[in-house]
Amino acid sequence: MRASYSSGTSATPLLGDTIGACLDRAVAEHGDQDAVVDRAAGRRWTYREFDAEVAAVAHGLLGLGVGKGDRVGIWAPNCAEWTIVQFATARVGAVLVNINPAYRTHELRFVLDQAGIRTLVAAPGFKDADYAAMIEEVRPACAALHDVILIGRDSWRDLVSAEPVHDLAEIGRTLSPDDAINIQYTSGTTGFPKGATLSHHNILNNGYFVGELCGYTEMDRICVPVPFYHCFGMVMGTLASVSHGACLVIPAPAFDPKASLAAVVEEKCTSLYGVPTMFIGMLAEPGIDELDLGSLRTGIMAGSPCPVEVMKQVVHRLGMTEVTICYGMTETSPVSTQTRADDALERRVSTVGRVHPHLEVKIVDPDTGLTVPRGEPGELCTRGYSVMLGYWHEPDKTAEVIDSARWMHTGDVAVMDEEGYLNITGRIKDVVIRGGENIYPREVEEFLYTHPDILDAQVIGVPSERYGEELMAWIRMRDGAAPLDATAVQEFCAGRLARYKIPRYVHVVAEFPMTVTGKVRKVEMRAAAVDLLGLADIAATRHA
């Protein structure tokens, strides 16, 4: 029987460019075409205009003393400035550190300190979050932080009006595609996030080949409602767009189904991105079937398991006949497998596709490390240009997931069929995926332990029709403490943990179900939770 191994042969070579060189090429070839449209701000840039903005910010960063290898944080919702800073840091060789807009002081302080962020570019605030106040609260504890730039404020205007005193082209010639250029934080199994460190070569090529499999050209207009702080937005969106001379359309600062659909209609978008919960939200919009979505051709659904029935509706009701499903993780830039436009519909709605060009995938027995036969489940591993450089300043953690042969062990359980198509059937590691956000329960558990009345906490994922999974906390109370309900736990977490990490459900117990060796049986807890919460029908939903 054939082994569960596949390699992505391709006649299209990998790009050997830096991100700055890629933008140079786009400006030379498509200078007068639309590059970025920021709908909320009512602004748009051609490639030539966008490049001028990037150069202004690059000169401003250099004027602050930012140089190659320095870390520059970006903490903002989706906006044109986010993408400008992305390319400006790449121009000067600084490492862009993506900070989740949902982060609060607990997480912000950790990331600023762990990455050694020298310069932070941030929105003054977003929704009910006062970013400026939170930055000032944690700033005294962050020794490396030297400059804070607030978008739209005087500090931003000073940045973009700085006098050019360096030759950006000369700086570009000192940069290598293999340099670290981006750090993205993933929640940590040990209670703290880990900074996946990615190079120009990692993310530029991944964005390029995602775009190749979507059939992008300079005629495409890509609507990106997914967040830029995540690979889905800044790699599969921004870099896929620029590497093909396409137009990036930002429908709103954060996902809004009405705004996303309006952007598609009014900007004549040919491609639309989203995690499953976003597509569910758009499909539920009143009057959607009367909208003129005829410009749509393709798009990507990714980020969490894709319900088969939702995928079928995306094809038939949104007209995205060439829509693809992608599978990946931050540590692999992110995409490892993708469906193709010429795959049979059943393949495109019920699998995560085949291996990406220039990459390898295999499925191994997690106990022996040996490749299993096709049709048998095991741990999905991937190798190639996309595998991260490592976790920032954490070589031991890096060695836990990247083996001596450079295989990235994803922790996901998968099955490969005879034609090389993959299904993700479960997870080896303890992780919850809520609406495309990876949440490691240990991080939330560690935080709940700080509550004076909680003796012990175990956090699990339970089925959710809207988000795929929701968080549920099982807690044991200290002697004499009154039981906490979900509202009390949520109030304790509010403002200190990102909202998506706050448990929706809380269940107080005297003891946790345990194995004979004293380990908590989370599988049993999940099964009990499905019955307790009445989620059996949702749990039975089919996914790719």
Over range 500-521, report the average pLDDT. 84
**Delimiting residues of CATH 3.40.50.12780 domain(s) in the chain:** 5-10+18-414
Q: Average pLDDT of 255-281?
A: 94
Structure tokens belonging to residue 467: 């988000």
| Intervals of CATH 3.30.300.30 along the chain | 433-539
Query: Residue 352: what pLDDT?
Result: 94
Our CA angle for 466, 469, 470, nearest 5°, is 95
Q: Which two tokens stand for residue 157?
A: 């205007």
Place of tokens 């080949």: 209
pLDDT tens string 67-86: 999 999 999 999 999 999 99
Q: Which residue has the higher pLDDT, 105 or 518?
A: 105
Ranking 236-240, 510-514, 535-539 by mean pLDDT, the lowest is 510-514
SS3 316: helix
Q: How confident is the model at residue 481 (pLDDT cuts 50, 70, 90)?
A: very high
Q: Is the per-residue pLDDT at 189 higher than 70?
A: no
pLDDT of residue 521: 82
Question: 160 is written with which tokens?
Answer: 């973009």
Q: Name the superfamily (CATH) of residues 433-539.
A: ANL, C-terminal domain (3.30.300.30)
Look-up of token digits 């906006």: 79
Q: Which residue has the tokens 């495309």?
A: 436
Q: Which SS3 state, helix, strand or coil, does residue 303 take?
A: coil
For residue 120, give the 3-state DSSP assignment.
strand
Q: Is residue 59 predicted with pLDDT exceeding 60? A: yes
Give the pLDDT confidence score for residue 172 in this predicted structure.
98
Tokens of 358: 């220039």
Tell me the average pLDDT of the chain: 94
Q: Is the pLDDT of residue 188 over 60?
A: no
Count of positions (residues) in the chain: 544
* Average pLDDT value for residue range 349-373: 95
% of the chain at pLDDT higher than 90: 82
**Cβ 201 vs Cβ 189: under 8 Å:** no
User: 35 near 61, Cβ under 8 Å?
Assistant: no
Integer angstrom CA distances of residue 157 from 92, 135, 491 = 19, 19, 38
Pairwise pLDDT comparison (173 vs 438), residue with the higher score:
173
| pLDDT band with cut points at 50, 70 and 90 for residue 515 | low
pLDDT class of 434 with cuts at 50, 70, 90: very high
- Measured in whole angstroms, the distance separating CA 430 from the mean position of its chain's CA atoms is 18
How close are the terminal C-alpha atoms of the chain, in Å?
24
Give the per-residue pLDDT at 533.
96
How many beta carbons lie within 10 A of that of residue 217, not counting itself?
A: 10
Give the CA distances from residue 497 to residues 158, 228, 490, in Å, rounded to whole numbers and listed in that order: 33, 20, 10
Tell me the CA distances in angstroms from 336 to 7, 166, 305, 359, 399, one per residue in order: 11, 38, 15, 7, 20
Backbone angles phi, psi at 66, to 5 degrees: -75, 130
At 32, the amino acid letter reads: D
Residue 97, beta-bridge partner list = 73, 183
Mean pLDDT value of segment 39-51: 98
- 3-class SS of residue 138: helix
Average pLDDT for 442-463? 88
Q: In this prediction, what percent of the chain has a pLDDT beyond 70?
A: 98
Give the pLDDT confidence score for residue 110 in this predicted structure: 95
Q: State mean pLDDT over 446-459.
A: 88
Distance separating alpha carbons of residues 175 and 90, to the nearest angstrom: 9
* Two tokens, residue 12: 């299209």
The CATH architecture assigned to 5-10+18-414 reads 3-Layer(aba) Sandwich (3.40)
286 alpha-carbon distance from chain centroid: 29
User: What was the pLDDT predicted at 191?
Assistant: 60
Predicted confidence (pLDDT) per residue in 214-259, tens digit: 999 999 999 999 999 999 999 999 999 999 999 999 999 999 999 9
Is residue 272 predicted with pLDDT exceeding 90?
yes
**Residue 338 corresponds to which tokens in the numbers above?**
């993708």
> Average pLDDT in the 335-354 region?
92
The model's pLDDT over 109-128, given as tens digits with 9 standing for 90+, comes to 999 999 999 999 999 999 99
Q: Quickly list DSSP for 202-247.
A: HHHHHHHHHHHHTT--TT-EEE--S-TTSHHHIIIIIIHHHTTT-E
Is the per-residue pLDDT at 10 higher than 80? Answer: yes
Strand partners, 403: none
Q: pTM value? A: 0.86
What pLDDT, on a 0 to 100 scale, did the predictor assign at position 501? 94
Lowest mean pLDDT among 52-66, 314-328, 412-426: 412-426
